[in-house]
Structure 1
Amino acid sequence: MSAIEALTSGLPLLLLHLAAASILLVVGAIIHLWLTPFRERELVAEGNSAAATVMATTAVALAMPIAATLATSLSLVDILIWGAVGLIVQLLVFVAASLALPNLKARIEAGENAAAITLGGWQIAAALLNAAALLG
């Protein structure tokens, strides 16, 4: 098979899998925004670096298990099912970490980066474990 034939046959599948992963990421981000006890988007628009840190680390943490699913899944159904499982785990980690950090809402709203970095660190650590588990 030539490189052009491989590209022609593989590119549509690649684009389909990438689209599915992107949709999962957007859905996870929307759910995250609903779960967040503070107005994350508005705070970022106002220049709150703590809220921006939480938003950025959440995006990375949500993407990690989806990326692991892309690396191991052979079908669109696998990507959707295991990607959703990975997202659920990450969203539960966010809720648990948010509850474990005292006064998180007020601290993020006040722009306290220490709280944001701690939350983000726990999310990324959990995402690494989550992704590794999904890789099997």
Structure 2
Amino acid sequence: MTPVLQSLTTLPSYLLFAVVMLGFLLLFILAYTAVTPYRDLALVRQGNTTAALTLGGAMIGFALPLMSVASHTTNILDLAVWGVIALVSQLLVYVIGSRVLLPDFRAGVEADRTAYGILLASLSIAVGLLNYGSLTY
């Protein structure tokens, strides 16, 4: 078997993991935009930088633990379980960040106060990195 063909023997696993992770990302975006009290994507389309930062940071923070799991396991169930945990974790980051740290967060996002977006995006990524680091097998 040539090295290229041998390398392609893992293509089905790659495709499965990629589809599951992309599915989880889509699920996360739907869940995140459902819990925010404003219309994230509509604000982004209008050029609202703060909404883009918060959503983008949350997506990165969510993707980091998935990347960790995918690089440490061949078990799709591990990926699914930790995908759910990462999703819940990022939703909690939003709730804590938007209600505890910045109680007027909704108004801040809608007014495009960039500092609010930077803070929540940074918090989302920081928690994602902590989750990533915690997922060592």
TM-score range (shorter-chain normalised) is over 0.9
Q: Which amino acid aligns with 1:134?
A: L
CA distance, structure 2, for counterparts of residue 16 and residue 78 of structure 1 = 13
Aligned counterpart, 2:114: 113
Structure 1, gaps ≥5 residues long: none
The aligned residue for residue 5 of structure 1 is 5
Q: 1:66 & 1:78 partners in 2: Cα distance?
A: 10
Q: Which residue of structure 2 lines up, in the alignment, with residue 18 of structure 1?
A: 18
Give the root-mean-square deviation of aligned CA atoms.
1.3
**Alignment gaps of 5+ in structure 2:** none
* Residue 134 (1) aligns with residue 135 (2): yes
Runs of 4+ that moved beyond 3 A:
none
Q: Could you tell me how far 1:49 is from its partner in structure 2? A: 1.0
CA distance in 2, matches of 1:62, 1:115: 19
Equivalent in the alignment of 2:123: 122
Q: How many Å apart are 1:27 and its aligned residue?
A: 0.5
Distance 1:88 1:71 in 2: 21
| 8 Å contact kept, 1:44–1:51 | yes
Counterpart code for 1:109: E
Residue 83 of structure 1 corresponds to which residue in structure 2? 83
Looking at structure 2, the residues matched to 52 and 8 of structure 1 have their Cα atoms a distance apart, in angstroms, of 37
Q: Which amino acid aligns with 2:120?
A: L
1:29: which partner in 2? 29
- Length-normalised TM-score, structure 1: 0.93
User: What is the aligned-residue identity percentage?
Assistant: 30
Q: TM-score, normalised by structure 2?
A: 0.92
| 8 Å Cα contact 1:98/1:104 also seen in 2 | yes
Structure 2 distance, partners of 1:74, 1:119, is 32
1:4 Cα deviation (Å)?
A: 3.0
